[in-house]
Amino acid sequence: MDVTDFPDDLVQTQTAWNATYNALAAPRPRDTTALRRRLLLLSVRLWWHPYWETVPSVPTARSKLRHLARAHGAVRAA
């Protein structure tokens, strides 16, 4: 399995994590408690996703996922 063949739900979760993180990092975010809870929930989903049991190098795969999700999020924003 190629490390770039991520499941769609994993990419969507990482993209949602990025969006939530950015919303929380914005100046004067609204409803910070809800954003923090969402970030925690998404972090747990990312960390314990079954995909990580199938890759030989988890740190490398996690890094590639973050890069892919940033690109995915940039395409959605455009």
DSSP string, 12-66: HHHHHHHHHHHHHHSSS-S-HHHHHHHHHHHHHHHHT-GGGGG-S-HHHHHHHHH
Spatial contact of 42 and 13, defined as CB atoms under 8 Å apart = yes
What's the half-sphere exposure (Cβ side, CA atoms, 13 Å) at 73?
18
How far apart are alpha carbons 30 and 23 in whole angstroms?
A: 9
Q: How much is the CA Rg of the chain, to the nearest whole Å? A: 13
Q: What is the pLDDT of residue 3?
A: 55
Instruction: List the pLDDT tens digit at each of the 78 positions of the chain.
Output: 455 689 999 999 999 999 999 999 999 999 999 999 999 999 999 999 999 999 999 999 999 999 999 997 776 665
Q: What is the pLDDT of residue 1?
A: 47
Q: What is the pLDDT of residue 72?
A: 79
